C-alpha cells in the first residue's frame, strides 16, 4: 500500500511510459492554513485525468480546466499561486486569506521519475534537485535528517522516501496489517523474526525482513528519534530482547503487545534481568496502541499506528516549543 504522494509518482511515471502528457504539481509554499502540507503532489494527464490532491478538489478542478483550455502546455517548470484574496480563497477551498503556491512541472525523460521510483523501492531516502530552466532532475542521497523543500529562482529541492522508520518484532498476521498501514503513512518498515515457521511465509512488497535475533537487530538498526519499535511475538524470549535495547535507545515510540497482567510481568522481568531504570520502563507503551476497543488484527494495527501518530506529533510539538523557548 503506497502513501498518497508515492502513489502520485507511480501514476505519473506510468502515464509518461504510455506516451501521455503529464504535469506534476508540487506544493512549494503556503501562507495561513492550507488543505495539504508543503511537498504534497498532484498529477494531471493530458486528457484531464488526475491523481493525488493538493486541496479539497477546487484547485484540482481548476488545473483540469486550464489543461483543457491549453494553458498547461508548459515548456519548463512554472509556479502558480491560488487563494490570494478572500474570493479566491472561497473558490479554491482555502481559509479566507490563505494562499497556496504550486510548481507545475511538465514530466519528461529528464524528470527521472523511473529512477526516483527505483530508489524508493529500495527503501532509500532521496534528494531530488529540479532545474527550473531545463526541467532536468538530479537524484542524490538525502542527508540524515533532511526533510525540507527549498524553492529558489533556479531550482526546487525536494526529499522523497521514508523519513520515519518502524521495526516490528514478529512476522505474524497482525504484522501484515501493521506493515501495510505504516507504509501508507510513509514509514520505512523492517520486520524481524528469527523463527523459520513465521519468517518463511512472510513477504510484503516494500517491507524488509531480517531473521537475526531481536536484540542484535535493534542495535544494528541504530534507532533514533524518527524510529518506532513494536514487539508483537507474545514470546518473552524474543520481545524482551528487543525491548531491552529499544528502551535504552532514542526511539520515539516503543510498544509491546500483551494484556495488562502480562505487561506488569514484563516490566518486572525487564527491571530485574536487564537492569532497566524506572524512567526507561515508563517509555514502554503496553498494552500497545490506543484503547479503541480493538479486537481484530487490523483494528489492533490501527490502534498502534494511531498511538504512534499521537506520540510522534506530541514529540514534534515539544521540540518546537523547546526551540522557541531558547
Is the predicted pLDDT of residue 304 greater than 60, yes or no?
A: yes
pLDDT confidence of residue 86? 59
pLDDT grade for 118, boundaries at 50, 70 and 90: very high
pLDDT confidence of residue 322? 44
Is the predicted pLDDT of residue 96 greater than 60, yes or no?
A: no
pLDDT grade for 210, boundaries at 50, 70 and 90: very high
Helix pair angle (113-121, 4-17), 10° resolution? 140
Please tell me the pTM assigned to this model.
0.70
Sign of the dihedral defined by the CA atoms of residues 323, 5, 203, 306, in that order: positive
150-203 pLDDT, tens digit per residue, is: 999 999 999 998 878 999 999 999 999 999 999 989 899 999 999 999 999 999
pLDDT confidence of residue 166? 96
Are the C-beta atoms of 167 and 222 separated by less than 8 Å? Answer: no
What percent of the chain has a predicted confidence (pLDDT) above 70? Answer: 88
pLDDT grade for 50, boundaries at 50, 70 and 90: very high
- Higher model confidence: residue 114 or residue 66? 114
28-48 pLDDT, tens digit per residue, is: 988 776 667 889 999 999 999
Are the C-beta atoms of 267 and 226 separated by less than 8 Å? Answer: no
Map grid coordinates 537487530 to a residue: 217
Is the predicted pLDDT of residue 85 greater than 80, yes or no?
A: no
pLDDT confidence of residue 69? 85
Are the C-beta atoms of 223 and 167 separated by less than 8 Å? Answer: yes
Average pLDDT, the chain: 88
287-296 pLDDT, tens digit per residue, is: 999 999 999 9
Is the predicted pLDDT of residue 219 greater than 90, yes or no?
A: yes
> How far, in Å, CA of 12 to CA of 7, rounded?
9
pLDDT confidence of residue 319? 43
pLDDT confidence of residue 2? 56
For residues 69-93, give the mean pLDDT.
76
Phi, psi of 42 (to 5 degrees): -145, 145
> How far, in Å, CA of 189 to CA of 182, rounded?
7
pLDDT grade for 226, boundaries at 50, 70 and 90: confident
> How far, in Å, CA of 268 to CA of 289, rounded?
21
pLDDT confidence of residue 326? 32
Structural domains of the chain sorted by starting position, each given as residue range(s) with its CATH number in brackets: 4-160 (no CATH), 164-314 (3.40.50.720)
Q: All 3 cell numbers of residue 290? A: 490506543
Are the C-beta atoms of 5 and 24 separated by less than 8 Å? Answer: no
CA 45 distance to own-chain centroid? 25
Amino acid at each position: 500500500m503506497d502513501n498518497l504522494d508515492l502513489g502520485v509518482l507511480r501514476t505519473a511515471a506510468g502515464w509518461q511510459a504510455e506516451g501521455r502528457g503529464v504535469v506534476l504539481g508540487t506544493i512549494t509554499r503556503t501562507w495561513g492554513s492550507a488543505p495539504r502540507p508543503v511537498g504534497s503532489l498532484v498529477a494531471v494527464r493530458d486528457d484531464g485525468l488526475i491523481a493525488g490532491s493538493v486541496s479539497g478538489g477546487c484547485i484540482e478542478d481548476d488545473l483540469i480546466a486550464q489543461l483543457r483550455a491549453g494553458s498547461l502546455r508548459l515548456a519548463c517548470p512554472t509556479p502558480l499561486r491560488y487563494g490570494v484574496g478572500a474570493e479566491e480563497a472561497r473558490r479554491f477551498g482555502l481559509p479566507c486569506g490563505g494562499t497556496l503556491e504550486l510548481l507545475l512541472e511538465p514530466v519528461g525523460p529528464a524528470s527521472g521519475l523511473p529512477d526516483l521510483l527505483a530508489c524508493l523501492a529500495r527503501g532509500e531516502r532521496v534528494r531530488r534537485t529540479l532545474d527550473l530552466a531545463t526541467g532536468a532532475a538530479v537524484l542524490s542521497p538525502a542527508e540524515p535528517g533532511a526533510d525540507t523543500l527549498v524553492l529558489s529562482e533556479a531550482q526546487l529541492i525536494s526529499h522523497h522516501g521514508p523519513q520515519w522508520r518502524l521495526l516490528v518484532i514478529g512476522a505474524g498476521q497482525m504484522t501484515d496489517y501493521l506493515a501495510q498501514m505504516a507504509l501508507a503513512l510513509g514509514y520505512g518498515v523492517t520486520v524481524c523474526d528469527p523463527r523459520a515457521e513465521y519468517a518463511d511465509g512472510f513477504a510484503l512488497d516494500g517491507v524488509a525482513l531480517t531473521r537475526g535475533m531481536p536484540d542484535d537487530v535493534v542495535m544494528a538498526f541504530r534507532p533514533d528519534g524518527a524510529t518506532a519499535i513494536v514487539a508483537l511475538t507474545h514470546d518473552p524470549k524474543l520481545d524482551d530482547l528487543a525491548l531491552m535495547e529499544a528502551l535504552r535507545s532514542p526511539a520515539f515510540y516503543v510498544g509491546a503487545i500483551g494484556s495488562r497482567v502480562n505487561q506488569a510481568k514484563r516490566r518486572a522481568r525487564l527491571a530485574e534481568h536487564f537492569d532497566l531504570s524506572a524512567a526507561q520502563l515508563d517509555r514502554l507503551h503496553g498494552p500497545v496502541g490506543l484503547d479503541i476497543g480493538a479486537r481484530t488484527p487490523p483494528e489492533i494495527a490501527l490502534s498502534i499506528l494511531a498511538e504512534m501518530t499521537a506520540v510522534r506529533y506530541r514529540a514534534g510539538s515539544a521540540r518546537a516549543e523547546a526551540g522557541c523557548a531558547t
